[in-house]
């Protein structure tokens, strides 16, 4: 038997074992989405608000809370902000704000996903999102479709992390979720729960929340807001992506206006389990049953998908994904065993 055929058979058998385990070994767990109201330039208050919500989530026995894109840095349009001003909002992965969130995660036992402007070790700036897990692990994803400011670089990798709950978390930020191939590639890396943080930059000519731009050309056109539609399209799109790929989706949207915050939790069949507006509380939650994943149509389609490489895309540890743990050189007590799945793609023009 050829090596490629052997690897393909192994991957197929391994995937079947994982699916069987997901049906029998993992219990439902609670997740929540909070469309946090954040203040630009007041990271300490934003961290305090996140910590307060994690305390409330712990009382409700919730395992993971998803906050919006840029929830620690604050929302609003950054296109005309000077680079030095933008840099003052940026922090490293082991900076004060992320440390504050991680400490709250340890106190409450509730994992949290928060958005921030990341300053990389070489000084580059990224629109990033980090999921802090109990035990000290931090999984960081850099936004791929980043056109918020010329000084913000684009991420070039997909990120997927294993959890103890029987799901693999994939992260896509804002406009990353608009492109079908981004969600599909994340699913091909094994993601079965998509964390989809988002922020609305303002309103279109009809007063509806506008979508994010996908290119600098769109970003610079004054009439672009009229042409891209509203976030109602995003709601329909995310339910379709959940069904297409057999994954749960947790969406959390923040807004600088204070009037367009919303959140949504979707199951692998594309059904909305919980949605902001149907509850009097800003935090909405739902119970996720990992057993729904393997039997979904989306997962069956993924399993039947032809792969010219004879197997799944390579899995590799990102150079920045857990820099905090690498620097400490010590294993955190009770840390969850994680692996990261990534694919590098050439930078888009």
The highest-confidence range among 160-169, 225-234, 331-340, by mean pLDDT, is 160-169
Question: Which are the contacts of 85, defined by CB distance < 8 A and separation ≥ 6?
Answer: none
Give whole-number Cα distances, 139 to 106, 112, 161, 348, in Å: 15, 11, 7, 24
Higher pLDDT, 257 or 320: 257
| 3-state secondary structure at position 278 | coil
Mean pLDDT throughout 314-343? 44
Q: What is the CATH number of domain 28-328?
A: 3.60.110.10
Q: 77 pLDDT band (50/70/90 cuts)?
A: low
Select the highest-mean-pLDDT range: 7-11, 28-32, 145-149, 307-311. 28-32
- Mean pLDDT throughout 132-151? 91
Please state which of the ranges 67-71, 123-127, 254-258, 312-316 shows the lowest mean pLDDT.
Answer: 312-316
* pLDDT given for residue 149 in this prediction: 82
**CA-to-CA separations, 339 to 19, 99, 136, 138, 333, in angstroms, rounded:** 17, 22, 14, 12, 17
Q: What's the pLDDT at 131? A: 98
d(CA 218, CA 347): 18
Burial class (CB in 10 A: 0-12, 13-18, 19+), 227: exposed
CB–CB of 147/348 below 8 Å? Answer: no
How many CB atoms are closer than 10 A to CB 248?
Answer: 25
What does the pLDDT read at residue 83? 74
Q: In the predicted model, what is the mean pLDDT of the chain?
A: 79
Please tell me the predicted confidence (pLDDT) of residue 59: 98
Query: How does pLDDT run across 257-312, given as a tens digit for each residue?
Result: 656 678 999 999 999 999 987 556 789 999 999 999 999 999 999 988 766 555 55
* Better-scored residue on pLDDT, 215 or 241: 241
Q: Which two tokens stand for residue 40?
A: 């630009």
Please tell me the number of Cα atoms within 13 Å of 247 on its side-chain side: 30
Q: What percent of the chain has pLDDT over 90?
A: 52
Query: Between the CA of residue 214 and those of 175, 178, 211, 345, what are the distances in Å?
Result: 7, 8, 9, 17
Residue linked to tokens 């791929």: 144
- Alpha-carbon distance 296 to 130, whole Å? 28
Tokens coding 342:
């990534």
DSSP summary character for residue 295: T
Count the Cβ atoms, other than its own, within 10 Å of residue 48.
12
Q: So where are the chain's domains?
A: 28-328
pLDDT (tens digit per residue) in 83-132: 787 888 889 999 999 999 999 999 999 999 999 999 999 999 999 999 99
What b/e readout covers 309-347, taking b as 16+ CB neighbours within 10 angstroms? eebbbeeeebebbbbbbeeeeeeeeeebebebbbbeeee
Instruction: Say if CB 81 and CB 70 are below 8 A apart.
Output: no
**Residue 190 or residue 25, greater confidence:** 190
> What's the pLDDT score for residue 257?
61
């Amino acid at each position: 038997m050829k090596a490629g055929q052997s690897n393909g058979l192994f991957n197929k058998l391994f995937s079947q074992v994982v699916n069987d385990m997901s049906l029998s070994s993992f219990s439902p767990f609670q997740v929540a989405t909070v469309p946090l109201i954040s203040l630009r330039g007041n990271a300490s208050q934003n961290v305090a608000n996140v910590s307060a919500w994690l305390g409330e989530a712990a009382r409700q026995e919730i395992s993971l809370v998803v906050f919006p894109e840029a929830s620690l840095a604050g929302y609003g349009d950054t296109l005309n902000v000077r680079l030095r001003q933008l840099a003052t909002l940026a922090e490293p992965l082991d900076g004060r704000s992320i440390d504050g969130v991680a400490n709250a995660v340890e106190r409450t036992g509730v994992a949290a996903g928060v958005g921030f402007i990341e300053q990389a070790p070489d000084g580059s700036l990224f629109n990033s999102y980090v999921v802090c897990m109990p035990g000290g692990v931090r999984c960081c994803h850099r936004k791929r479709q980043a056109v918020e400011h010329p000084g913000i670089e684009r991420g070039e990798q997909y990120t997927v992390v294993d959890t103890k709950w029987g799901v693999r978390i994939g992260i896509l930020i804002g406009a990353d979720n608009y492109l079908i191939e981004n969600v599909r590639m994340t699913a091909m890396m094994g993601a079965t729960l998509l964390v989809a943080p988002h922020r609305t930059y303002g309103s279109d000519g009809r007063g509806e929340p506008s979508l994010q731009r996908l290119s600098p050309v769109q970003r610079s056109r004054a009439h672009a807001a009229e042409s891209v539609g509203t976030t109602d399209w995003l709601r329909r799109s995310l339910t379709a992506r959940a069904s297409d790929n057999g994954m749960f989706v947790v969406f959390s949207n923040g807004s600088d206006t204070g009037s367009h915050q919303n959140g949504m939790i979707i199951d692998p069949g594309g059904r909305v389990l919980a949605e902001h507006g149907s509850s009097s509380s800003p935090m909405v939650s739902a119970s996720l049953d990992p057993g729904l994943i393997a039997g979904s149509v989306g997962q069956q389609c993924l399993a039947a998908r032809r792969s010219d490489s004879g197997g799944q895309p390579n899995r590799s540890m990102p150079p920045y994904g857990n820099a905090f743990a690498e620097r400490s050189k010590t294993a955190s007590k009770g840390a969850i065993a994680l692996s990261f799945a990534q694919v590098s793609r050439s930078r888009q023009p």
